Amino acid sequence: MTELPPLESAVLPAGVRARFADGINGLRLHILEAGHETPGRPLVLLLHGFPELAYSWRKIIVPLADAGFHVVAPDQRGYGRTTGWDPDYDGDLASFRMLNLARDMLGLVAALGHASAAAVVGHDFGASVAAWCALARPDVFRSLVLMAPFAGPPPLPESAASPAPLRSGAPTCTGDIHAALAALPRPRKHYQWYYSTRPANDDMRHCKQGVRAFLRAYVHMKSADWPGNQPFRLAAWNADELAKMPGYYIMDRDKTMPEQVAEEMPSAAEIAACRWLTEAELAVYGGDYQRTGFQGGLQWYRCRTGGVLLGELELFAGRTIDVPSLFIGGKSDWGTFQTPGAFERMQSPEVCSDFRGAHRVGGAGHWVQQEQPEAVTELLLSFLREAAH
């Protein structure tokens, strides 16, 4: 795996530095940080999702540091300039399982010289890692901010009372949902299972329009800029209900993801007007994904859809997240409702015993911390001040 220098300062906000943290659960983690100059500051850890990078937090790192925190965002296992992970589809899949991803973050906290983190904040798939950090080690991860719903640990099979899609905090293959999706008048498939297929990486890395154009269409279609994002609660985990979601979640059966989102590629004028993700900023993502491909992040999906080592998560059956917890999402984010019932279950004492509120931010879709960084920063700081007491 090619090792590159840290992300150059020219693409980072003033006050943010990029560096490596070595020897962490087999990884050389690439991190962005601010507030490191002053010893003793409480740590805030920011965890990205797919297809993102530590760079996704660039707009809130400095404001949080200015408020007195040591703020760190890593490229997680499988992403960006972090090395030490297996890039092969047929390689070490188990290293991408959820508890090992949480172990990566436990090691990072220690390597940074902290005994604990004041908060772990997770967006998209990073929310699952953050949730497991807080669930497994509440002594280290003192509060939790979720930017995607988490429905709790899976129950033991003999006591599985909740609907199967919620058992592991994520969709699972229940009944013949895939056959039902394929049998719809407009045949469909679920994106998480598409992401778990062997061709998915090459579909995206070598797509006709190129990686940057693919990413531009993808992030546009999942943002508040795309008028098709008017999310609502789904009644059940069945084909008819799931098919109400946009094509980036419930895809056309015979399309790749680049083909799916290409239909909604923004115009040159729309791209020029997108201040929350400029072409220069998009180039950071495009450069890293063109170099590494997408397989590292796709391994996370394979662990989820394949139930890799699900039994070890059942060790936590019945356990709740007991640290102060908050949810922040975009009002135009379908991700909040993609698993029916998860948003509501997250807010119950069965999952988060000290839940402090759910905020859906206007003018934001899936990329809430990039689309509305000021609002997200304000919510985070208010929560951090409250959780500290």
Report in angstroms the alpha-carbon separations of 328 from 53, 55, 132, 229, 299.
19, 19, 17, 17, 26
Q: Report the candidate in 63, 67, 74 with the shortest Cα–Cα distance to residue 33.
A: 74
Q: How many CB atoms lie within 10 A of CB 271?
A: 16
CA angle in degrees (0–180, nearest 5) for 102-107-110: 130
Are the C-beta atoms of 258 and 208 separated by less than 8 Å?
Answer: yes
Are the C-beta atoms of 311 and 317 separated by less than 8 Å?
Answer: no
Active site residues: 124, 366
If you write DSSP's letter for every residue of 110-175 in order, what string do you get? HHTT-S-BSEEEEETHHHHHHHHHHHH-TTTB--EEEES----PPPPGGG--S-GGGTTSS----T
DSSP code of residue 355: E
Q: Which residues contact 240 (CB under 8 A, 6 or more apart)?
A: 184
Write phi, then psi, for 127 (nearest 5 degrees): -65, -35
Q: Which residues contact 217 (CB under 8 A, 6 or more apart)?
A: 209, 258, 261, 262, 264, 265, 266
Q: How far apart are CA 119 and CA 222, in angstroms?
A: 27
